């Protein structure tokens, strides 16, 4: 069993914000996997099939680790089978990067996960939301996607799906990371 987590904030006020990009990806993956019903457990909404649990923590971004650690423990999922998907201001809109481990890089949700799991050794998918330097950071990440930005995110979702399918088929994650990270290199 593999746990794929999309980070975001619960509630209608955050639904279309850049910071909820992880939730957008989880909903897309659930649709592609044909998993329709959401379930609730450990302050999280999740979809489950025989291969994956797709999780949207409802603890708010900065406490995401609480929900994730509960799922890992309850379902006896090894840390190596965890993938966390989240927004990244350091990447241009629509660019994405896989990593097999690393620091939080200033992302408070990831920082909380590292603290509670007591490890930086889990897979990540960072998806660029860019940054308007004229806008305060908090306002930028909690701001809604513009129509043009939504279209760019919709454009990359099939490529993200391809990589998840490769992982599902048992392909080596580092190979997937190398192949897909090369595809998203800036021009």
What are the residue numbers of the active site? 19
| Region at 76 (left for phi over 0; alpha for psi -120 to 50; beta for the rest) | left
Question: Using CB atoms within 10 A of its CB, is residue 175 exposed (0-12), middle (13-18) or buried (19+)?
Answer: exposed
Nearest to 165 by CA among 6, 5, 33: 33
CA triple 6-65-57, angle to 5 deg: 40
* 130/116 Cα distance (integer angstroms): 28
Tokens, residue 141:
């990440």
Q: Look-up: residue for tokens 């990447």? A: 91
* 111/83 Cα distance (integer angstroms): 15
How far is it between the farthest Cα atoms of the chain? 46
């Amino acid at each position: 069993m593999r746990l794929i987590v999309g980070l975001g904030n619960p509630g209608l006020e955050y639904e279309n914000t850049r910071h909820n990009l992880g939730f957008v990806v989880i909903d897309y993956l659930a649709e592609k996997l044909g998993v329709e019903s959401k379930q609730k457990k450990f302050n999280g909404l999740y979809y489950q099939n025989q291969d994956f649990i797709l999780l949207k923590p409802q603890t708010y971004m900065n406490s995401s680790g609480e929900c994730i650690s509960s799922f890992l423990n309850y379902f006896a999922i090894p840390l190596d089978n965890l993938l966390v998907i989240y927004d990244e201001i350091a990447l241009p809109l629509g660019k994405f990067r896989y990593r097999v481990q690393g620091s939080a890089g200033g992302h408070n949700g990831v920082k909380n996960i590292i603290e509670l799991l007591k490890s930086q050794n889990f897979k990540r998918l960072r998806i660029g939301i860019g940054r308007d330097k004229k806008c305060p950071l908090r306002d930028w990440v909690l701001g809604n996607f513009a129509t043009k930005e939504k279209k760019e995110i919709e454009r990359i979702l099939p490529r993200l799906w391809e990589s998840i399918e490769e992982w599902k088929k048992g392909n080596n994650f580092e190979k997937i990371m190398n192949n897909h990270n090369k595809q998203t290199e800036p021009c």
